[in-house]
Structures are given as structure tokens and as C-alpha cells.
């Protein structure tokens, strides 16, 4: 005898997959081209780096996903050798702490909004002021970070930068498409030639929390911004002046 509710349960389980598939089909024409880490850095494999600071880490492969966001990020950082970094969406500051450790001369501008200033849906966390950046402070990097406690919708980066000085921008705040578009367009004018913007939680599966940022990147690309998907990760990236594959050297 057929068990009761079997069909509805199966459909319920399949629903997220079906939603993601529908999104992919609807947006197929605008999907991002893929670039590999090797094409960017010219290195055959990700560079080794010290064991990461794990406090408050929220990046694959240290979360449930098998993607390799953390090692790819650290390789790009080693290749770029940034001195000025901006991260939108810092949370407890794990990524900032790991960048400060890897790049002893880097200064990081960190933007995150405490709960009362947050808006949007895909915000990941709701943190109190004292929780934001607690990891980089714990590891002694507080004096290398300019902390900006602001909603990125209200952010005016011209108060901090007078021109294109950023080597690396990381967009990892609210993942609703309109926020990601706002964030990219605010960061882009301040990126130096050869500098990079990385956009997190951007994956062509468009499942779960990946759809807002991926959709934003497709729309930005459609407007003429050459944003590409980084293979094997949930990063998309834009380089100010893309080189021919394999020909780039760090500055
Ligand atoms: C995914 S977490 C960032 C993780 C961090 N990049 C890391 O690697 O450790 C997203 C953060 O963005 C912040 N956020 C969300 N929406 C924001 C907004 N509109 N303005 C500023 N920060 C925002 C949240 O408070 C949360 O801490």
C-alpha cells in the first residue's frame, strides 16, 4: 500500500532544487563566464598559506559546502599583495584577521552595520556593535583596521578615499541583488588599475543564499561590467583592466 503523504513530502524535498533550476533556466542567457584561479594568477595550484585563524570563520570549505572559497581568497591576496583592502560585510572579522596576518603591511577598511542599522533580507547575521570585528581585535589587528559601522546603502566612500586606491574590494554584506549592485557600484570607482573586486556567495547553482548575488552579477555584467565566476568557489570577480589569461603579473 502506498504510504500517506509520500508524494507531497517528495515534492517538498525537491522544491529548493526545482526553484534553483527554474532560476537557472530563466537567467541562462545572462550567466557569467568562468575563470580559473590559474588563469588569474598564472600559478598551477593555490599557494600554500599558514593555517587559518578559525574563530568566526564563515567561508567554505570551513562551512558545510565543499567549495574552496578560503584558499582561493588567500591565493588571490598573495598574488595581489594588497596594501589597501576594503571589505563590505565584515561580521566578526575572520576574513579581515586572516588578511592582516597574511599581509603585514595591509590596511583594511571594514564596513558592517549593527542590527539597528541593518536592512534587506539576506543579511546572514545580526550583530551588536561590539561583536563586529571582535576576531581581528582579539588577534591584535585593531590598529590596522578602519572600522565603519554603517549600512552600505548609506555609505559614502569618498569620505575615506580621494581616488582609486584600493587593491582589493570584497563585497560580502547583504546578498539581496539590489544591495550587491549598490555595493559593487560604490566600490568600483575606488579600485586602482589592476585591482580586484570579489563578490561572495555568488554561485551558478543559484540555490539557497546564492541567487541574490549571482543575479546581481549577471545584471552588472549585462550593464557592461566584466564580472566572471571563479571556478570551484562561490566568488565572482572583477579586475580593473582584465588581462589576457595567464599574462598577468602582480604589481
Ligand atoms: C556573510 S557575513 C560577512 C562575513 C565576513 N565577510 C567574513 O568573511 O568573515 C555578512 C555581514 O554583512 C553585514 N551586513 C548585511 N547587510 C549589510 C548592510 N546593508 N550594510 C552593512 N553590513 C551589512 C551583516 O551584519 C553580516 O555581519
Q: How many CB atoms lie within 10 A of CB 127?
A: 19
Question: How far does residue 67's CA lie from ligand 1's centre (Å)?
Answer: 20
Per residue in 110-149, pLDDT (tens digit) is 999 999 999 999 999 999 999 999 999 999 999 999 999 9
Mean pLDDT over the full length of the chain:
91
- The average pLDDT across 170-190 equals 98
- CATH numbers and ranges of domains, the chain: 7-239 (3.40.50.150)
CA distance 180 to 89: 11
Per residue in 223-235, pLDDT (tens digit) is 999 999 999 999 9
Of the candidates 227, 184, 229, 222, the one whose C-alpha atom is nearest the C-alpha of residue 204 is 229
Question: How far does residue 149's CA lie from ligand 1's centre (Å)?
Answer: 11
Strand segments (E) across the chain: 34-35, 84-88, 107-111, 145-148, 166-171, 191-200, 228-230, 235-239
For residue 46, name the pLDDT band (cuts at 50, 70, 90): confident
55 in ligand 1 pocket by Cβ < 6 Å? Answer: no
Q: Output the pLDDT for position 68.
A: 92
Q: Output the pLDDT for position 244.
A: 53
Question: How far does residue 143's CA lie from ligand 1's centre (Å)?
Answer: 21
For the entire predicted model, the pTM comes to: 0.90
Residue 62 carries which DSSP code?
A: S
Q: Is the dihedral of CA 38, 223, 90, 17 positive or negative?
A: negative
CA distance 223 to 181: 11
Percent residues over pLDDT 70 in the chain? 93
Amino acid at each position: 500500500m502506498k504510504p500517506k503523504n509520500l508524494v507531497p513530502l517528495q515534492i517538498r524535498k525537491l522544491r529548493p532544487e526545482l526553484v534553483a533550476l527554474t532560476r537557472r533556466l530563466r537567467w541562462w542567457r545572462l550567466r557569467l563566464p568562468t575563470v580559473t584561479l590559474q588563469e588569474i594568477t598564472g600559478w598551477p595550484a593555490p599557494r600554500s598559506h599558514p593555517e587559518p585563524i578559525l574563530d568566526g570563520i564563515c567561508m567554505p570549505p570551513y562551512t558545510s559546502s565543499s567549495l574552496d572559497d578560503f584558499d582561493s581568497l588567500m591565493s588571490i591576496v598573495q598574488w595581489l599583495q594588497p596594501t589597501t583592502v576594503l571589505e563590505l560585510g565584515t561580521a566578526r572579522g575572520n576574513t579581515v584577521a586572516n588578511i592582516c596576518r597574511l599581509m603585514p603591511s595591509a590596511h583594511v577598511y571594514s564596513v558592517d552595520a549593527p542590527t539597528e542599522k541593518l536592512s534587506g533580507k539576506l543579511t546572514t547575521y545580526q550583530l551588536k556593535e561590539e561583536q563586529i570585528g571582535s576576531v581581528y581585535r582579539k588577534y591584535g589587528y585593531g590598529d590596522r583596521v578602519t572600522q565603519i559601522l554603517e549600512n552600505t546603502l548609506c555609505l559614502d566612500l569618498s569620505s575615506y578615499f580621494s581616488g582609486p586606491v584600493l587593491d582589493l574590494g570584497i563585497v560580502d554584506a547583504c546578498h539581496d541583488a539590489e544591495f550587491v549592485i549598490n555595493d559593487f557600484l560604490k566600490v568600483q570607482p575606488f579600485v586602482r588599475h589592476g585591482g580586484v573586486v570579489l563578490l561572495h556567495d555568488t554561485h551558478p547553482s543559484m540555490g539557497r543564499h546564492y541567487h541574490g548575488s549571482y543575479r546581481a552579477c549577471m545584471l552588472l555584467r549585462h550593464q557592461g561590467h566584466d564580472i566572471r565566476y571563479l571556478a570551484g568557489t562561490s566568488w565572482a570577480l572583477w579586475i580593473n583592466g582584465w588581462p589576457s589569461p595567464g599574462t598577468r603579473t602582480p604589481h
